[in-house]
Amino acid sequence: MLKVFNTLTRRKEVFRPIKDRLVKLYTCGPSVYSQPHLGNFRTYVFEDVVKRFLVFKGYRVRHIMNITDIEDKAVRAGRGSMKGMVRITRMNEGVFMKNARDLNMLPADEYPRATENIAYMVRMVKMLLKREMAYKDEKGNVFFDVSRFPNYGKLSRSRFRHSLDRRVYKDDYYQREAGDFILWKAWRKSDGDVFWDTELGRGRPGWHIECSAMSWRYLGTPFDMHMGGIDNIFAHHENEIAQTRGATGKMPAHYWLHVRHLIIEGKKMSKSLGNFYTVDDIRRMGYGYDVIRAHLLKEHYRRRLNLTFRSLKRTAAEIRRYKSCAKSLGKSRFWEDAPEADKLCRETLSEFNRYLEDDFRVPEAIEIFCTFVCSVQDLIRKRRFGRRNARNVLETLMRMDSVLGL
Ligand SMILES: [Zn+2]
């Protein structure tokens, strides 16, 4: 029985999808105004393991990951030119896709771009206006009226110190204060030619409505699981719930999972500290993508991952050892089949499954995987290893690796 920690209830809950064997999953994708960094990939790689484990458990997964290619920072990066913005966002989207492949992430079923779903955002905003959950100001901006949504703050358990009697105009990833938040931004001079002419007037969507509209379009409401980084809890996901429930009357998702941050050598990653790394920066230091992937999974997702270069070296050595063991299995001589090997396979798989079922204890699952390789080597040394055993071992390894992707 799979149990997941649901941010909505702050409890581990038994995971039950809406439709028997199908899981609908939405994960907040990259903001492509700049290159995705290593910290972003901690979240994406964990999400990939969740998806792979659901497949391992026999579910079919429909996975949508959006591409945020329009928001304040993207407009600024393009200096108010649509052409400039598209050039930058497409380039960074390409880097993201390449790194996702490098890190062996299974592709999502679709990667909808925000700029290609403006019509759905407009539709949703219109629904909110009609239900009087939103209002237009004198400049043509549309805001969500938080006072009309009594459940506001439930996901983040925020007790708002400031009155909600203010308006939040910016698309701010690190927003801390609440208030009526923006759904539609009327055109301003600084937007240049970045705008859409719609029934809401000339302008562009706010960041939060993008994910509500795209998850609604591609998965419907409600869907099963919504994931993202921990800084999405407030305000992004709080606002998504308000928007989707406000417009459709239904929750967007039943289970909300959030991944904590990655820090480097005990410090927050930032450009000003000079410890800001992309996946390829680490690759250029001589670490393989498999090492990077393994390392990003080395701490439970609800704990902060402190990446140090010493620990990264350790992971590299572990991966080298495991890969050479796996290779030597292929070259092994065979003796008579022994029952211990089959028993080892059975027990390993069941333990592996048990750890992952307990809110995705991936570090322990990796440990099991490595221990298994060593134990098999032991059996070979003792000549307790036959052809059937070898097939069984290989299958066990492949089953586990279908989840870990190493
Ligand atoms: Zn999102």
Q: What is the pLDDT of residues 251-274, one digit of tens each?
A: 999 999 999 999 999 999 887 888
CA atoms of 319 and 404, how far apart (whole Å): 12
CA atoms of 303 and 149, how far apart (whole Å): 32
State yes or no: 345 annotated in a binding site.
no
Measure 209 CA to ligand 1 centroid, in angstroms. Answer: 9
Instruction: Indicate the fold that domain 16-259 takes in CATH.
Output: Rossmann fold (3.40.50)
- Domain ranges in the chain are 16-259, 285-404
State yes or no: 130 annotated in a binding site.
no
* 122-168 pLDDT, tens digit each: 999 999 999 999 999 999 999 999 999 988 989 998 776 556 678 88
pTM beyond 0.85: the answer is: yes
Measure 228 CA to ligand 1 centroid, in angstroms. Answer: 7
Instruction: Indicate the fold that domain 285-404 takes in CATH.
Output: Isoleucyl-tRNA Synthetase; Domain 1 (1.10.730)
Percentage of the chain with pLDDT > 70?
A: 98
Nearest to 35 by CA among 109, 98, 81, 83: 98
Lowest mean pLDDT among 16-25, 60-69, 331-340: 331-340
Tokens 């290609």, residue located:
116
State yes or no: 240 annotated in a binding site.
yes
Measure 28 CA to ligand 1 centroid, in angstroms. Answer: 4
Mean of the per-residue pLDDT values for the chain?
Answer: 94
Around 334, how many Cα atoms within 13 Å sit in the side-chain half-sphere?
12
pLDDT at 171 over 90: no
State yes or no: 271 annotated in a binding site.
yes
CA atoms of 166 and 122, how far apart (whole Å): 23
Q: Give yes or no for a contact between 259 and 182, defined as CB atoms under 8 angstroms apart.
A: no
Measure 239 CA to ligand 1 centroid, in angstroms. Answer: 10
Query: Do 16-259 and 285-404 show the same overall fold?
Result: no
353: number of Cβ within 10 Å: 19
Give the pLDDT of residue 161.
57
pLDDT at 177 over 80: no
The residue with greater pLDDT, 136 or 334, is 136
Measure 185 CA to ligand 1 centroid, in angstroms. Answer: 18
- The residues pairing with 85 across neighbouring beta strands, listed in sequence order, are none
Q: Give yes or no for a contact between 323 and 288, defined as CB atoms under 8 angstroms apart.
A: no
Measure 265 CA to ligand 1 centroid, in angstroms. Answer: 28
State yes or no: 211 annotated in a binding site.
yes
The residue with greater pLDDT, 381 or 49, is 49
CA atoms of 209 and 123, how far apart (whole Å): 11
Give the pLDDT of residue 325.
78
